[in-house]
Each structure stands twice: as C-alpha cells, then as structure tokens.
Structure 1
Amino acid sequence: MPSPAQSAVWGLLAVAASAGAQTKSIEPGSPAPPLSVKHWLKGKPVTSLAKNGVYVIEFWATWCLPCAEEMPHVTALARANPDITFIGVGIWEEWDAVKHPRFVAKMGQKMGYRVGYSGDQDGMAETWMKAGFRDSIPSAFVVKDGHVMWMGHPRLLDKPLAEIKAGTFDLAAFKSEQQKRRAKVQWGFDAAAALEAAQKLRREGKVEASNQALASAVEEFPENEIAAESIRFSWLADEDPVAWETKARSYATGEDSKRLTILNKFALARVAKPNGIPIARKALLIALEGTGWKEPNTLTFGTSIFATLKEDQMELRAVRALLEVWPESWTDVEEERTRLRAREVELTAKLKRG
C-alpha cells in the first residue's frame, strides 16, 4: 500500500487528469465505449469488444504503485476466468517507448493479461475513465454483451465479476450507488477545472488574469486552497527563483506538513519535465535537509526521485534513512521494510561493482 505522501500525489494527478472539456458520460448499463489502444505491449491485440463476451478493462500507469500492487490480483482473476478477456490499459502519462515496455517486462507474470497504452488524458482516459466519473487508478470496468456493468477498484472486483458472469448481478442497485458517487466526483472535476483555467491563462502570458482566476477558484471551491498555493509555488519557481528558494526553505523547516508536501510534490512533478531535473533535485535536497533526512513522507519521495535520476548513492542514503523512521501507523509495514531492505542490498551491490 502507498504511504500518505504517495497517495496525495496520485490523488492530485488523478484530479488533474480528469479536468477539462466535457465528454459523454457512461454509467452502469450504458453501451461500452470503443477501445482505443495506441500501443500494444503484451498479448494479442483486441480491436473491438464483441457483443456477446465479457471483458475486464483495468487502467494503470507506470508511476502508480497501487496499480502495480493490484496487478497480481487481476492476474489471478484472469487465470481463474479464462473465458473472460482481461485488458490492462495505460493512461495518465505520456507514452515512453522505453519506460512502458520495460515496466511491463519487469512485471512479468504478475501482469498476466493483455496490456496496451491508450494515452495521457486523451483516448480511454477520457472516453472511459472521465466519462465513467473514475477519478483515481487503479480502476477497472466490467463489460458484458457490449454494456458496462460495473466499475470500481480492482480489489473489489471478485464478487461483482462472479455475479455478472453468472447473470445474478443487481445492475439497478449498483447504478443507484454510482449515481450518488457521481455528484462528489463531479465536484472534484469542477474544482480541478477551475484550477486548470487559471493555469491556462498563465501559460498564455495573462498574469493578472491568472491570479484573479486562481483566487476565484479558491473562493468558489475553498478546498482548492492548498492546490492553489502549490500552483503559485510552481509559478514562482519559473518567475522568481530567488524568492522561490526562500519559500521552499520555509516549507522545509516549518511545522506545516501540507506545505512540506507541496515542496515534495513540486520535486516529483518537475523531475518528469524537460529541463526540470536541476530544480527538482534542488527542491528535494531542500526538503531532505530541512527535515534532517528524518521525515518519512519526504524520504519516500526521495527514494522515488533519486531512483528516477539514477543517483544510486543518494537513493541508498534515502532508503537507509527511511528504514530507520518508517512509521508503524503506515500500512503493510513489514512488507515495505522487506522491499526497502531488498533495494538496499541491490544498491549496495551495484555501488560495489562500480
């Protein structure tokens, strides 16, 4: 299971990915949208959904640790139901001809079903996930006879899949349940869209208008306050690096965990952008040094970012520090410690080899 820091990052990315123009919605009982897979990575390609078959469509991304954790479960279901076609569809990140195939190869038999990539915020991210009011991954859809029957977290898939297959699934009850959920998700979409509108104005060079739009986004959706501060922090990095560094250090040494998370998220977001590595690394080091290499969430970000940068020595330092402070309140404590110890051994051996 992810740490609180990781969950915060993935939730932010999910809402951002869902913001934007309206698209035709789908709900339980709706005709299934077409498949739209740009790159097939594993298994025989599926170009369309048969009108008399059952399918499980599971959405994932390479950066999503919970997705990777659920893949063995989805694989077990696929093996137990050979008459059902399982398809894993990558979304919410740009296509990478090296990273995506490597991820699938690394997962191996833990990802034992067809796998493809659809797009970042386009393709099935729009026509399935956004249309189905799914605001996080991993997410799965079950399609039977050309209609969407169920959507939800893959961990909850076993019972509805068995009932759909047997013809005993209560579609009306599930539809009613989903309609209650949609209002909350729509609010999240609208809040994210308000933030995106302000950022769009900034990209167009309309500084004052973007400031006003961001203020309005917080006024209309008060829960946007921290996200808005994160956006201002990102703008500051581009427009006044000296002031940005002063604020970054205040975030790192202050007692407000939300501001520290803004700094950590900034580092994670920038490391993936062209020319973003220097400031991402600087932000991460400010966060680590400001917390004395003892804050678990920051160290979690550190292990991930240093791994991305292929800085083995720094990643090893972060892994060892995280092992010392991993909170007992976090889920799967022993499992995560085992994973970190294995990574520690791997990095130590690699550094010895030179």
Structure 2
Amino acid sequence: MPVRWAGWCSCSLQSAGRRVRRMSRIILCASLLTAALVVTAAQPPSPRLGIGDVPPPLSPMAWIKGNQVTEFQSDHVYVVSFFATWCGASRQAMPLMSQLARQHAGDLTVIGVNVRESERGDPSVESISRFVAERPESFDHIVAMDDPMTAPLFQSWMRSADMYGTPTAFVIGRDGRIVWIGIPIDDRAVYTFEQAVADAVSGSVNLDASRAVHVETAREISEYLEAREVLADVDAARMRGDHAATLTAIDAVVAERPEYRHRTRDTRLSALLHIDESKALAFAEQELEFVSAGELAEHRGRIAGSIGRTVAGHPDLSPAAQAWALFYLRQGIEAEPEGSGGVLNWLSLAELEHARGHIDQAIAAQERAVRLARTAREVTAESLKELERTLSEYRAQRMDGATSP
C-alpha cells in the first residue's frame, strides 16, 4: 500500500498497543482495511463514472435531514459526500462538509450519504437519524441514507467510479457534470478537495488535475482490494487469534508473492510475540537489516517506529522486550516526529513508559501526543478528547504518587 495513504488508512498500524489500537481506529479510518467488499460476482458491473460525466440520480432509501435533492440544478455546485458512522475519517470529514456549505451558501449544496452502515453499525434510519441529530455542528447540510442491503448509491456512484473507502466525495460543477472525485481529507492530493470546491464555485476547475487525483486514488484502491484478497487467509487467522495459523498463512503468501513480505511484517511480528518473544525480537532485527539493505532503506525509521508500536503494544512483555520497543520507538519518532504517525509514535511511547512505571516520562510523551493531535488534521475531536482524558489519568496518578499502572 502506498506510503501516501498512511495519513488516513490504518493498514500499517493494526498491531499497535491496546490504547494505540483504539486510537488508530479512531484517528485513521480502517474502512479500507477490514470492511467487507460490497460488490460480488453476482452483481453486474456498473457503468464507469469519471470526471466530466453526468452524475447518476440520487435515489436514497431515506432523506435524514434537509430538503430532498431530486435533480442537480444548472449554475449551482453540489458535493455528494459518502460516509459511514463507524469510520473515524468520515467523522473527521463531516465538519468540513458543513464548513464548506456555510462558506459557499447560495452557491453550494452539500449532501452527505450514509453507505456501508451494515458492515459495522446499526443500518437503520432511526440509528442514522439519531447520529446526525446528536452532531448538529457536523451536519449543517443535507443528509441521506443508502439502502444498507442493496446499496444502489454505493454501486452507481462509488463503485462505478472505482472508489470504495469512506469518506469519498464527488463535486458536481455548474454545468451539471462531475469535476472532482476523491478522498476529501487527503491533503497530499495534487489537487485537493477544498481547492476543487472553491474552483467549482468560481467556475474554473482544473479538470486535468482532477483526473489525475481520481486515477491515482482509484489505482491505489484497486491495489488495496487485490491485497485484501491475497491476504484473506492471513486476516481470517489473525481475527480468530490463531497465531500459528497466521504465520503459516503468511509463509504461503510470501512464498508466492515475495513483495508481500513488507505488508505482512507487523502481522508476523505480532503473531510471533504471542508464541516466542525471543524469536519475535530476532525477527524484528532481521527485518530492519533487510530494510536497510534494500529499496525501502529511506523508510527505515518509519518502519522501526511501526515495529516499536507493535512490540510495545503486546501484553506481558519482558523488561528486555520493553527496552527493545523503546529503542525502536525512538527511531520512529526521529524519522516521523509529527503528523498522524508522530501522534501514534508518541502515544505508544507514553503507554510503554506507563507500563514500565515511568509516570513522568509517560506524561511527557502523552503531552507531546496531545500537542501534535491538536494541529493534525487526521485527528478527530473525539480522538483528541480521548488523548486528553488519558493525559489527565496519568497526571492524577502522579499526584497520587503512583509509579506503575
């Protein structure tokens, strides 16, 4: 999976610590990692949908909030944003949609469409209505709901455009045609969602740049879906907690597809930690030597941080293993001190120091994580509150004279 996705996909973070695992699910949307593919072989492929095309009609199962949009009026801009309530990145994008709706009032209509809710949430109109009503600041725009069973809008819009993850946004220009398709919170896109919206309102969208964003994102999604199919047995064994079977499945994959050695590193390390800690640490050292000598050498520090998070998050570590985790985490922090990766590195360091009984060091690391989280776009308001609660817990323990959890 391309490194560019690290800001919103948790594929490289799935083996972090208990608190870090929870945070990574909130901070970084896991929708592209663990959700079931809605499209099946029994369903005929939908027509392809791209930049410059007329958008499909909006025929949702239910309109949750605001006026129904039965057609796209000319000389007006629309955003159709697909979200899932269980997706952290979707929650991150919701306030942005409302902000743009207010900023361009009169010229722009934003329609949030709930999709894929049955994969993890409660796929009922009542549940989605309650979710929206409880977050008025995030839903200052129209909201609708796709049918959770037949998923007509997910098919006719997202899958037709080779999109899959949430959030995904479509911008419809004043001429009634699609002028941008992509991930609205991907700041590293060559042509960002917010810029495309502003340009659509002014009538000067860069269609070539929009096509480049759509093509690149669709390519990465295709690679992800292929990888998920290849790793199906690995994920199934991991989910049921069969560590020996996980290792066997990884061996089978790597034997046939050597390029998957990097993709399965943290999963293999996590399984090994459950079976034999010394072998796991030896494997970690071996992998970093392999990385240092290969084409991924420039990413060695980031990979060390990922390994450190994996080791640090394992329960019942020996003092020696904790020391190794600390060593790897420091390398990760040096390579990636900021951004979402930095937040998780510092957060994992705080949890590790807390487990070691070093409350002052835990507080210092947690404070750094909180400071970074306040300015990191990937971090949702809910995630920030959880980080701050943990910091308060650590400080209270210090006040009580505690030196260990």
* Fold conserved between structures, TM > 0.5: yes
After superposition, what is the alpha-carbon deviation per residue over 1:168-202, rounded to whole angstroms, capped at 9, x for unaligned? 22334532553355444433332223334877899
- Deviation, structure 1 residue 137: 3.7
Partner of 2:120: 94
TM, length-normalised to structure 2? 0.53
Please say if residues 266 and 310 of structure 2, whose CA atoms lie closer than 8 Å, have aligned partners that are also in contact: yes
Partner of 1:274: none
After superposition, what is the alpha-carbon deviation per residue over 1:57-94, rounded to whole angstroms, capped at 9, x for unaligned? 12333344343333333212101223322122334543
Please say if residues 77 and 171 of structure 2, whose CA atoms lie closer than 8 Å, have aligned partners that are also in contact: yes
Query: Does structure 1 residue 161 correspond to structure 2 residue 161?
Result: no
Please say if residues 89 and 115 of structure 1, whose CA atoms lie closer than 8 Å, have aligned partners that are also in contact: yes
For 2:360 and 2:60, how far apart are their aligned partners in 1?
40
User: Aligned AA for 1:104?
Assistant: V
For 2:393 and 2:366, how far apart are their aligned partners in 1?
19
Say if 1:168 and 1:117 are closer, same or farther in 2 by CA, change over 3 A.
same
Correspondent of 1:107 among 108, 126, 135: 135
Partner of 2:337: none
Instruction: Select the structure that is richer in helix.
Output: 1
1:38-49 to 2 correspondence within 5 Å? Answer: 38=61, 40=63, 42-44=64-66, 46=68, 48-49=70-71
User: Aligned AA for 1:174?
Assistant: S
Correspondent of 1:128 among 129, 144, 157: 157
User: Aligned AA for 1:69?
Assistant: Q
For 2:360 and 2:149, how far apart are their aligned partners in 1?
36
For 2:161 and 2:384, how far apart are their aligned partners in 1?
37
TM, length-normalised to structure 1? 0.59
Partner of 1:268: none
Say if 1:4 and 1:90 are closer, same or farther in 2 by CA, change over 3 A.
closer
After superposition, what is the alpha-carbon deviation per residue over 1:9-60, rounded to whole angstroms, capped at 9, x for unaligned? 54654155485647433211223234364455x4136364436453211233
Partner of 1:149: 179
- Deviation, structure 1 residue 132: 2.5
Say if 1:147 and 1:177 are closer, same or farther in 2 by CA, change over 3 A.
same
CA RMSD of aligned residues (A): 5.5
**% same residue:** 19
Say if 1:299 and 1:135 are closer, same or farther in 2 by CA, change over 3 A.
farther
Query: Does structure 1 residue 138 correspond to structure 2 residue 172?
Result: no
For 2:346 and 2:277, how far apart are their aligned partners in 1?
16
- Deviation, structure 1 residue 112: 1.2
Query: Does structure 1 residue 57 correspond to structure 2 residue 72?
Result: no
User: Aligned AA for 1:140?
Assistant: A
Say if 1:148 and 1:326 are closer, same or farther in 2 by CA, change over 3 A.
same
Say if 1:244 and 1:170 are closer, same or farther in 2 by CA, change over 3 A.
closer
Please say if residues 252 and 286 of structure 1, whose CA atoms lie closer than 8 Å, have aligned partners that are also in contact: no
After superposition, what is the alpha-carbon deviation per residue over 1:98-125, rounded to whole angstroms, capped at 9, x for unaligned? 8755543443223311234437797244
The farther-off stretch of 252-261 and 112-121 is 252-261
User: Aligned AA for 2:225?
Assistant: F
Count of residues in correspondence between the two structures: 308
Partner of 2:96: 73
The farther-off stretch of 249-258 and 138-147 is 249-258
